[in-house]
Structure 1
Amino acid sequence: MIVVTSGSAYLDVDAYAGCIAFAQLLNLQGLAAKAISSAPLNQSISQTLRDWPVGLDAHHATEHDHFVMIDISDPSHFDTCVDAQRVVEVIDHHPGFESYWQERLGPRAAIEAVGAACTQVYERWVEAGLFHAMNSSTAALLATAILDNTLNLKGQINTARDQQAYAALADKAGLAQDWPARYFSECQTAIEHDLPAAINKDLKRMDAQLPLPRVIGQLTVWNAQHLLQTQRATLVSTLQAHDPDWLLNLISIDEHCSYLLVGSPASAAHLAELLDVTFVEQLAKVPGALLRKQILRAALKLADKPLSK
């Protein structure tokens, strides 16, 4: 059995959709595969998406299974069911482990600078000549993951490959023109319903050697101004409980910007230099939405640390 899975901390929509769609592709190719995860689903997987007739499989990994990793390449953060020695393929778009996997898997390690891992998964369906066989719910999941990861196709990380993939998938799924606004608004409603839980499901701890806050959270909403005006104290207290040195990247899709909220003046000073932004009362507004992985990439470059391990 081939187990298609992702990380251990949480599952976002890119990992969720990518695992489901890639397992379906392998099965169509005659390879027994299951999409599984032991991680909690975060708020990017809205209730509407969870109600669609495609989802994760029920399967307990065994010592005979092999693993395909989607949207992750750092072995220290793999799902707890994964034996890294039995990983046979990696599809990811986060920097840091390109050489590590290239040495082990060669062409079966695809760690590429695209906006979404689901763009890569879509391309695998096309390369296999099986896109015609993809069901509409899977197409809708993949399209939504691309929307989320590329910030409605307007983020700095968005590429022509992401745009092409989204157009083909949205057409196949029959997504309405207002789907992006509906999706991101639903995510925001769920986030606001239990803000601490939403933050805790999208936190990453940074390498202490990097010029970054030790903990970075990220939330993507349709419009962030209301959230900052009404729940800033909750945002601060939730992050502060993890570490006094923190950053929250609050992405506002409708405003096409990011708000960077930090826990200390020292963090603000470091990030102001790193990203060339101005903080006022430990809050900075960045035109053009910014992703956490882009902040990490800037820090790696500043630290002169190779993007491969």
Structure 2
Amino acid sequence: MKVVTSGSAYLDIDAYACAIAYAELLNLQGVTARAVSSAAPNASVSKTVLDWPVTLDDYLPVAGDEFVLVDVSDYDHFDPLVVLDRVVEVIDHHPGFEHYWTQKLGRAADIRRIGAAATQVFERWEAAGLLPQISEQSAALLATAILDNTMNFTGRQVTEADVRAYETLMRYAKLPEDWPELYFLECQSMIESDLAAALAADMKRMKPETGLPQVFAQMTVWNAKALIQLHRQTIAEWLAVQGDDWLLNVISISERRSYFLAGPIISQQKLSDLLQVCCQSGMLVFERAILRKELVAMGLAASISA
């Protein structure tokens, strides 16, 4: 049995989609596989997506099972059900662990700069010649994951491969033309209905070598400006409980920019140093939408060159 799974803290739409769609592909290829996670989906897995007739399996791994990791390569953040020595494949687009997995797995480690891990899974479907057999739900999941991870194709890590994958998958997904706006508006509504849960579900603790605030939360919404105006105090109070060095990145899809909230002075300074933009009154509005993983890559690069 191959267990397709992801990280431990939360399950975003990219991880959720990749696990389900890749397990489907493996089964079509005659490899018994199940998509499994002990982490809860975050707000990027909207209610509409959760209501689609496809889901994760409640299977519990047993001795002898092998593990395929999607949308994660940092072994400190693997789902706790993973047995490290039995990982046989890694599909990820986050930087930092390329050398480790290449040494361990060779070509079975596919870690590269691309907008979404969902694009990498799409490419496996295409290479196998089985794309015409992909289920409507898996196609919709992968397309939505690409949409989310590329911030509606506004992020700098978007590649031609992401664009082509999305356009191709939409032919199989049968989603409405205005799906991007519908999806991101629904995600924002879910976030605002329970801010604490949304923050907790997409919060990471950064390693010192990144140069980033220790607590780094992120959310993607349709209109960040409106959300911050309504909920800034509640957000700041919740993050302050998590630590005295915190940062929130609110990606505003409709405005194509990022709003950063950083209450502590040390957090503001770290952000300003990295982006070379002054943080004023605990907030920085960045001229483009930028993902946390981009800031992590920038921080690591600055650390190496220092």
TM-score range, shorter chain: over 0.9
> Deviation string for 1:237-260 (max 9, x for gaps)?
111111110110000000000001
> Per-residue CA shift, 1:62-96, capped at 9, x if unaligned?
11100000000011111111001000000000001
SS in 1 for 2:199: helix
Letter in 2 for 1:42: N
Query: 2-side partners of 1:257 and 1:110: how far apart?
Result: 29
Aligned-pair CA distance for 1:230: 1.0
Deviation per residue, 1:115-153 (Å, 9 max, x gap): 100000000000000000001111011000000000001
* RMSD of equivalent CA atoms: 1.1
**Is 150-159 or 105-114 further displaced after alignment?**
150-159
After TM superposition, list the pairs within 5 Å mapping 1:198-237 onto structure 2: 198-237=198-237
* Structure-2 separation of matches of 1:23 and 1:141: 13
CA distance in 1, matches of 2:2, 2:242: 36
User: In structure 2, what is the equivalent of residue 251 of structure 1?
Assistant: 251
Shift of 1:270: 2.1
Map residues 86-97 of structure 1 onto 2, 5 A cutoff: 86-97=86-97
Match of 2:187 in 1: 187
Match of 2:266 in 1: 266
Structure 2 matches for 1:32-51, cutoff 5 A?
32-51=32-51
Does the Cα contact within 8 Å between 2:199 and 2:219 map onto a contact in 1? yes
What amino acid is aligned across from residue 200 of structure 1 in structure 2? A
Q: Which residue of 2 aligns with 1:124?
A: 124
Query: What is the rounded CA distance, in whole Å, between the counterparts of 1:106 and 1:84 in structure 2?
Result: 16
Q: Which amino acid aligns with 1:143?
A: A
Residue 276 (structure 2) pairs with residue 276 (structure 1): yes
CA distance in 1, matches of 2:58, 2:243: 35
Aligned residue number for residue 304 of structure 2: 304
Cα distance change of structure 1 residues 305 and 129 upon mapping to structure 2, 3 Å threshold: farther
- Deviation, 1:299, is 0.4
C-alpha deviation, 1:267, in angstroms: 1.7
Structure 1 distance, partners of 2:180, 2:210, is 34
AA in 2 matched with 1:195: L
Aligned residue identity for 1:14? D
The SS at the match of 2:129 is coil
For 1:11 and 1:209, locate their aligned partners in 2 and report how far apart those are by CA, in whole Å.
Answer: 25
Aligned to 1:150: 150
Given that 2:209 and 2:300 are in contact with CA atoms closer than 8 Å, whether structure 1 keeps it comes out as: no
Offset, 1:263: 2.3
1:164 is matched with 164
Structure 2 unmatched ranges of 5 or more: none
2:291 paired residue number:
291
**TM-score normalised per structure 1:** 0.97
* Equivalent runs, 1:14-53 vs 2, <5 Å: 14-53=14-53
**How far apart, in 1, do the equivalents of 2:214 and 2:258 lie?**
19
The secondary structure found in structure 1 opposite 2:304 is coil
How far the C-alpha of 1:305 sits from its partner, in A, is 7.4
Tell me what 1:108 maps to: 108
Q: Kindly state the Cα deviation for residue 158 of structure 1 after the two structures are TM-superposed.
A: 1.0
Distance 1:282 1:96 in 2: 29
**Relative to structure 2, which stretch is displaced further, 153-162 or 108-117?**
153-162
AA aligned to 2:259 is Y
Runs of 4+ in 1 over 2 A off after TM superposition: none
Q: Quote the Cα distance in structure 2 between the aligned partners of 1:209 and 1:130.
A: 42
Find the residue that maps to 2:139 and give its secondary structure. Answer: helix
What does the per-residue CA deviation read over 1:186-207, in whole Å, with 9 as the maximum and x for residues that have no partner? 0000000000110000001011
Count of residues in Structure 1 that have an aligned counterpart in Structure 2: 306
Whether the 8 Å CA contact 2:209–2:299 is kept in 1: the answer is no
SS at match of 1:22: helix
Partner Cα distance (1:157, 1:237) in 2: 32
Question: What is the SS of the residue equivalent to 1:241?
Answer: helix
State the shift of 1:55 in Å: 1.1
CA contact (8 A) 2:213 2:246 kept: yes
Provide the TM-score with structure 2 as the length reference: 0.98
Matched, 1:133 2:133: yes
